[in-house]
Amino acid sequence: MCKLLDHKIVAIARGIDEDHIIPTIQALIDGGINAVELPLSHKCKEAYDKTLKIIKKVHDTFGDKIYLGAGTVLSPEEVEKAAEMGAEYMISPNMDVEVIKKTKELGKGSMPGAFTATEVLTAYNAGADVVKIFPAGNFGESYIKALQGPCDFIPYAAVGGVNADNMKSLLDAGYNMVAVGGNLVNKELVMKEDYKQITELAKKYIQNV
């Protein structure tokens, strides 16, 4: 059963290395956020394999303490690999019907990226649990209000340009949830191992829900 809509905030931990990923996620948990997306890297095969390894490490470490997803999932084969490593939902930057179908075939949550009404409806009809509007933060509240006119039965996630200041207004405008990357999982703080500050950022986001 997909639990995506049980969470208002998904933290996107992009580019966090194996040495720092566990304390980073623990800092998010301490701040009240336990839905985490670990994006797959497509720079090269070595980077891709490393991100799969990190997904498995996080799954093995935290188990059901977090709701773990894989991001930047671009093919049915990647859906299978990420699921094998322990990912419970798949997030993509694009709308690929075959990716959605494979995700649902494996019983995982599906959040493809879309923008136009055609893409949104195609994704939903293919089985998407939540449709990710990207880049939502750059378009403010007006776009989701317009899109919800004909498509108010579809759950939406705001992704891209989301921060602690605009998050509440995006949710109020009609988004069901948000996914936040560098504005929450700040790589500079991670590299300085300032996990306490990441926890404080997470608390700020939770307070704004």
pLDDT in tens, the chain (209 residues): 679 999 999 999 999 999 999 999 999 999 999 999 999 999 999 999 999 999 999 999 999 999 999 999 999 999 999 999 999 999 999 999 999 999 999 999 999 999 999 999 999 999 999 999 988 877 778 899 999 989 999 999 999 999 999 999 999 999 999 999 999 999 999 999 999 999 999 999 999 88
> What are the distances in angstroms from CA 22 to CA 6, 18, 75, 195?
23, 8, 27, 11
Active site residue 3: no
- The rounded distance, in Å, linking the Cα atoms of 6 and 35 is 9
Catalytic residue among 8, 37, 102, 104: 37
- Selecting among 102, 104, 108, 132, the annotated active-site residue is 132
Q: How far apart are CA 124 and CA 139, in angstroms?
A: 21
| Residue 1 confidence (pLDDT) | 61
Q: What is the DSSP letter of 41?
A: P
Q: What pTM was estimated for this model as a whole?
A: 0.95
- What are the tokens at 51? 């991100």
Identify whether 132 is a catalytic site residue: yes
